[in-house]
Amino acid sequence: MSTAVESAVTELRGMIVNGELPISERITESSAGNLLGISRTPARSALSQLESEGLLIKLEGRGYKIRPFSFADLEKATEVRSVLEGIAAGRLASMGPSEEATVAIEKSIAMTEAIISRDAVTKREIAVYQEANEIYHSAIVDTCGNDFVGQSLERIANIPIIAPGAFTEVEGMAQAEMLRMTVGHSQHVIIWDAIRSRDPVRAESMMREHAGAPIRYAKLFIGDGYQRKLMTTGIVNREDVPKT
């Protein structure tokens, strides 16, 4: 929250992904500036940054609009994320994990194990799971020895649901959540085993499967409910949601 530009980016990004800004509405330098109480100069930087992140689309001469994501877009972004995280896991298996990575990953696994061994889960447990998931994935990406992987991931990491931490809860789907967490945990264990065993091929392919899981299993285990949930956040185009 130091500079106006940084906080503007954070602020606007939050408003966009939470659907607090009407998708239809145009955003200009002035309107964004007024909204956040800053002048046009930092507002312009913030908008152009969000455009390069892919969250805004520039309407030449008429401001920006929020980029509408279709469900297909989310799947495509996930595909890229899976592949990138896959090479991160593969690299880590080749190199051997650092002490730092080992500590973080084993901590994450301990956290998720504690959660799935319970009978029922509350919102609180889901939040902890998300945190653990975030730790697991960033430990692998950050210590894989190839900065370009993390750099490329940053671009698509801001798209909701795609990010590792965004293990979005679906209302009234506690059982389905539990199932997803159990599956996720088991995959974490398997991938970590592959890494420790220095098996890059297995680590890569398992991570590739796993990183694509949130969106794939959303369809597989939950079905339309997930898409409908996404729609309400304004992230997904109405048109993409199956008619009921």
Closest distance between DNA and the C-beta of residue 148, in Å? Answer: 24
Strands 64-66 and 56-58: antiparallel
- CB-nearer residue toward DNA: 28 or 186: 28
CA–CA distance, 56 with 49 (Å, rounded to integer)? 9
Count helices and strands (H / E) in the chain.
11, 2
- The item of its own copies, DNA, none sharing an interface with residue 39, based on CB under 5 to 8 Å by kind, is DNA
Decide whether 76 or 216 has the Cβ nearer to its own copies: 76
> How big is the CA angle at 207 (ends 149 and 111), to the nearest 5 degrees?
100
Residues in contact with 213: Cβ distance below 8 Å, sequence separation at least 6, in sequence order? 180, 183, 184, 187
Q: Can you give the binding site for its own copies, defined by CB under 8 A?
A: 41, 45, 48-49, 52, 54, 73, 76-77, 79-80, 83-84, 86-87, 145-149, 151-152, 155-156
CA gap 165, 133 in Å, rounded? 6
Instruction: Report the residue number, 33 or 86, with the smaller CB distance to DNA.
Output: 33
Selection from DNA, its own copies, none that 60 binds (CB < 5 to 8 A by kind) is DNA
State the nearest-atom distance from the C-beta of 195 to its own copies, in Å. Answer: 17
Shortest Cβ distance from residue 40 to DNA (Å)? 4
Q: Where do we find the tokens 């001469």?
A: 61
Identity of the residue, 156 or 222, whose beta carbon is nearer to its own copies in the bound complex: 156
- When the beta carbons of 45 and 237 are compared against its own copies, the nearer one is 45
4 binds, among DNA, its own copies, none (CB under 5 to 8 A by kind): DNA
Long-range contacts of 17-22 (CB under 8 A, 24+ apart): 17/55, 17/158, 17/159, 17/160, 17/233, 17/235, 18/233, 18/234, 19/232, 19/233, 19/234, 19/235, 21/66
The option from DNA, its own copies, none interacting with 38 (CB < 5 to 8 A, set by class) reads DNA
Binding partner of residue 146 among its own copies, DNA, none, CB cut-off 5 to 8 Å per kind: its own copies
Minimum CB distance to DNA, residue 183 (Å): 44
From 30, 25, 36, select the one nearest 65 (Cα to Cα).
Answer: 25
